[in-house]
Amino acid sequence: MDRKKFLRLSSFGLAAFPMPLFSKSVNKPIVISTWDSGMPVNAAAWKILSANGKSVDAVEAGAVYIEDTIDCCVGLGGFPDRDGIVTLDACIMDEHANCGSVAGLEQIKHPILVARKVMDTTPHVILVGQGAQQFALQNGFKKESAELSESAKNAYKDWLKKNDYKPEINIENKKENGPFAPHFFEDGSPNHDTMGLVAMDVDGNLSGAVTTSGMAYKMHGRVGDSPIIGAGLFVDNEVGAATSSGLGEEVIRICGTHTVVEYMRQGYSPEAACKKACERIVKRDPKKAATLQVGFVAMNKKGEYGAYAIQKGFVFSVKSNTENQIHTSKYLL
Ligand code: GLY
C-alpha cells in the first residue's frame, strides 16, 4: 500500500483492522447432524466443542454415542444384509483433509473409532471387510457376537418370507416415533438412518463423521455412500463441510458431499448448495428420483448451515451457542 493511501485509511482507523471490522461474526462452535436422532449426538459432540475441544474429537464423540445407543440403522444393533450379517460403514475427516474409513466391518462395536485409527495411524484412507476387522483386532478392539439384536432378528425373519428388497422413500422417518427414538415400523420393515454430523470448533476448524449399518437387506459386500469420502462426507476447511443420508448409490453417482462443498466454494449458501446437489440427482433420472430419498446437510466457514432433500420428510439437528433444535429440511419433489 502506498504511503498516501495508508494515511487516508489510517484516518478512518481502517489500516489497523482491515477486514474483521465489517465482517459478520462466525457462528462457532456449532454442530449439525442428520435426523432428529442427531439431538443427543449433538449433545455428545457439544461437550467437547463447549470445552474448546477440537471438532474432530467432537464428531467422533457424537458418532460413538449413536453407535452405542440406537438400534436398526447404526452399529451392531442394526439390520443385517440379505445374508443375515450386520456390516458397518463409517468415516471421519478433519480440517487438514486427513481422513479414515471402514466399510463392511463385522462384529466391531465402534466402526467410527476404527476409522479414526485408520486416519491417525496408517498411510491409507479406507479399509474394508476382513482387512478392516483384522486391523481393528490388532489395535485392541474386541470381537463382538455376530448374533442379531432381537428387533433385527424378527425383522429379518419377516423379510426372508418375501425376500424382496426395494429402497423406500423416507424409510428413515416414516413412523412418528418422536425425537430421539430409534425408528421402527409397525410392519417390521427395515429402517435406515445414517448418522452424519459436521462441526466447527472454537478455532474455526471443520470436521465430520458418518456411521451406519447401511441399507437393510443389501447384498453382502455392498458399500453405500457413508464411508466414501466425497460421497457421504466431505470437509474442506477453507470452504465448508457436508454429509448425506438416503440412498447411497445415488449420492455416490454425483460425489454428493464434494459437490455440495464445491457449490459453497462458488458462493452458494449451504442450503442452496444442498439443493443444487439434489437437483443433479433428479436431473440425471427424474423417474427414478421420484422413487427415492436423499438428503444433504452442510455448513460453511461462517457457521451458517442448511439442508435440502429430494422428498419431504428429512429433518436435521443443530446445536450452537444460540440454538438446540430440530429443523425440517426443504425438498424438491
Ligand atoms: N446412505 C447410507 C447408505 O446408503 O448406506
Q: pLDDT tens, 233-250?
A: 999 999 999 999 999 999
| Residue 318 pLDDT | 98
Q: How many angstroms separate the CA atoms of 202 and 179, rounded?
A: 28
Ranges of residues in the chain whose predicted pLDDT is under 70: 1-24, 71, 164-193
- Return the best residue to mutate from 225, 229, 254, 297 for the ligand 1 pocket (most ligand atoms within 8 A of CB): 225
Model confidence, pTM: 0.87
What are the grid coordinates assigned to 212, written together? 451406519
Any catalytic annotation for residue 121? Answer: no
Closest-lying ligand 1 atom to the alpha carbon of residue 232 = 1
**Which residue has the least CA distance to atom 5 on ligand 1?**
214
Do 207 and 92 meet the contact criterion of CB atoms below 8 Å apart? yes
Nearest to 38 by CA among 299, 317, 306, 294: 317
Task: Render pLDDT for 127-145 as a digit per residue (tens, 0 to 9).
Answer: 999 999 999 999 999 999 9
Q: What is the dihedral of CA 85, 86, 92, 97, to 10 degrees?
A: 20
Do 162 and 262 meet the contact criterion of CB atoms below 8 Å apart? no
Nearest to 228 by CA among 131, 120, 101, 105: 101
23: burial class by Cβ within 10 Å (0-12, 13-18, 19+)?
Answer: exposed
Report which residue type is found at 134: Q
| Rounded distance from Cα 212 to ligand 1 centre (Å) | 7
Q: How many angstroms separate the CA atoms of 261 and 270, rounded?
A: 8
Which domains can be identified in the chain, with CATH numbers?
Answer: 25-331 (3.60.20.30)
CA atoms within 13 Å, Cβ hemisphere of 266: 11
| DSSP sequence for 148-197 | PPHHHHHHHHHHHHH------TTGGGSS---TTS----TT-------EEE
List, in order, residues 6 or more apart from 263 with CB less than 8 Å away. Answer: 272, 273, 276, 277
| Residue 155 pLDDT | 83
